[in-house]
Structures are given as structure tokens and as C-alpha cells.
């Protein structure tokens, strides 16, 4: 006596399949109770066909001049951190850092429009780095922001924080900082500046 074959269960909804679906163009469709189950299961398990897009920072890192400026900045920071750690290990309290102060550079930064909305009036020079607890960072780390995007609005950098601000507005503050420094050096050397 032949035993009846056990009925298959649908891979998507686990219902018993009375009659398997047949479609030669869709392999594995016999394991589903309906075309809707097959489509739903295919959407959830199919590998993503979207191309992974590079972040703005990764695209900039492909440029040799940006990569070079970024590496120089990393070296400086590593050196400063090493000096700071050696002071702490020696038991000597670290003095307040002497940071670059350049009013001429701040005026230069304020001459640019806001990097978010391109507003040209009431521009602030936002320091992207800090010198430590309660110490303003180097003037050479400044970027131009209007009052609304600096401290005034709900989407300001001081309310959102740097990471959220960069994500929301699609801006890399490090890249802007490097470009401003490059433009400032060109101005000091007497080259014309195009904004």
C-alpha cells in the first residue's frame, strides 16, 4: 500500500499547498501557495540590486590633494595627542593650549556666504574644532555660517551637533575647512580668488 505524499507548506505563509504553482520562468515557485506569496518572499530574501553609493567624504578622499591635507591634519593631531599623553603620565598638569588666532583669517571666512543656504549677511565664523574644555578652537578651523545655521535655528550646528548637521545638510565641514585654507593661502600669495 502506497502512503500519500505529505503536502508541502508555503515558504511564505506556511499554509498547506493543495496544488503547486507552475511557471517555468520562475524557478522555485512550486513552494508557494500563490503568486502573491512568491512575490512577497522574493522581495524579502532577494539580494539588493542597489549599487552602494560612496559617501561624500569617501569621494573626496579619492582626490589626492584632499587626501594629502587630511593626512597632514591627522599627523598633527597624533603629535598633539602624544604630547598631551606624555604630560599626563609625567604628572604635570597640561597647560591651556596656545591656539592659532588670526583675525584676518576670520574676516576672510566671514566674506563668504553661508555654506548651507548661501546667505550673504550676518555671517558667523564657526570654529569646527575645540581647544578643550571651554577653549575655542583654532581660527584656522572656521567655516562661514549664517546666524540661522550657526546658533539661531532648530537646524543650527549648535543645536544638532556636528554629525547630525553634516548628515542633514550633506556637507563635510573638514572639506570646507580645507578648501577655505587653500583659498586663503592663494589670496596671501596674490592669486585671484573665485567664489
Over the stretch 46-68, which tens digit does the pLDDT of each residue have? Answer: 555 556 677 777 777 788 888 88
Task: Return contacts of 20-23, CB within 8 angstroms, 24+ apart.
Answer: none
Confidence class for position 128, pLDDT limits 50, 70, 90 = confident
70 touches 174 (CB < 8 A): yes
Site of grid cell 552602494: 52
**Integer Cα distance of 116 and 152 in angstroms:** 14
**Integer Cα distance of 113 and 121 in angstroms:** 8
CA of residue 44 relative to chain centroid, distance: 28
Q: Is the pLDDT of residue 74 over 60?
A: yes
Which DSSP state fits 182? H
**Integer Cα distance of 94 and 83 in angstroms:** 10
Select, from the ranges 15-29, 96-110, 145-159, the one with the highest average predicted confidence (pLDDT).
Answer: 145-159
Task: Return contacts of 142-145, CB within 8 angstroms, 24+ apart.
Answer: 142/105, 142/106, 142/109, 142/177, 142/180, 143/109, 143/115, 143/173, 143/176, 143/177, 143/180, 144/109, 144/110, 144/112, 144/113, 144/114, 144/115, 144/180, 145/114, 145/115, 145/116
Q: Which of 20-34, 140-154, 172-186 has the lowest mean pLDDT?
A: 20-34
Query: Helices in 119-161 by DSSP H: which ranges?
Result: 147, 157-160
H-helix or E-strand spanning residue 123: strand 123-127
Mean pLDDT of 18-37: 73
Q: Residue 127 has what pLDDT?
A: 83
HSE (side-chain half, CA atoms, 13 Å) at 182: 13
Amino acid at each position: 500500500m502506497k502512503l500519500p505524499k505529505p503536502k508541502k507548506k508555503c515558504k511564505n505563509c506556511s499554509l498547506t499547498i493543495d496544488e503547486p504553482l507552475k511557471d517555468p520562468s520562475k524557478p522555485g515557485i512550486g513552494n508557494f501557495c500563490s503568486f502573491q506569496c512568491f512575490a512577497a518572499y522574493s522581495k524579502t530574501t532577494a539580494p539588493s540590486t542597489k549599487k552602494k553609493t560612496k559617501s561624500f567624504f569617501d569621494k573626496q578622499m579619492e582626490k589626492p590633494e584632499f587626501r594629502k591635507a587630511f593626512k597632514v591634519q591627522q599627523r598633527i593631531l597624533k603629535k598633539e595627542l602624544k604630547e598631551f599623553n606624555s604630560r599626563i603620565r609625567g604628572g604635570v598638569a597640561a597647560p591651556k593650549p596656545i591656539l592659532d588666532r588670526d583675525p584676518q583669517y576670520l574676516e576672510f571666512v566671514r566674506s563668504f556666504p553661508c555654506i548651507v543656504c548661501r546667505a550673504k549677511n550676518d555671517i558667523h565664523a564657526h570654529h569646527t574644532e575645540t581647544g578643550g574644555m571651554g577653549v575655542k578652537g583654532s581660527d584656522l578651523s572656521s567655516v562661514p555660517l549664517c546666524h540661522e545655521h550657526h546658533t539661531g535655528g532648530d537646524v543650527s550646528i549648535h543645536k544638532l551637533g556636528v554629525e547630525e548637521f553634516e548628515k542633514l545638510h550633506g556637507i563635510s565641514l573638514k572639506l570646507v575647512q580645507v578648501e577655505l585654507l587653500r583659498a586663503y593661502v592663494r589670496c596671501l600669495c596674490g592669486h585671484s580668488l573665485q567664489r
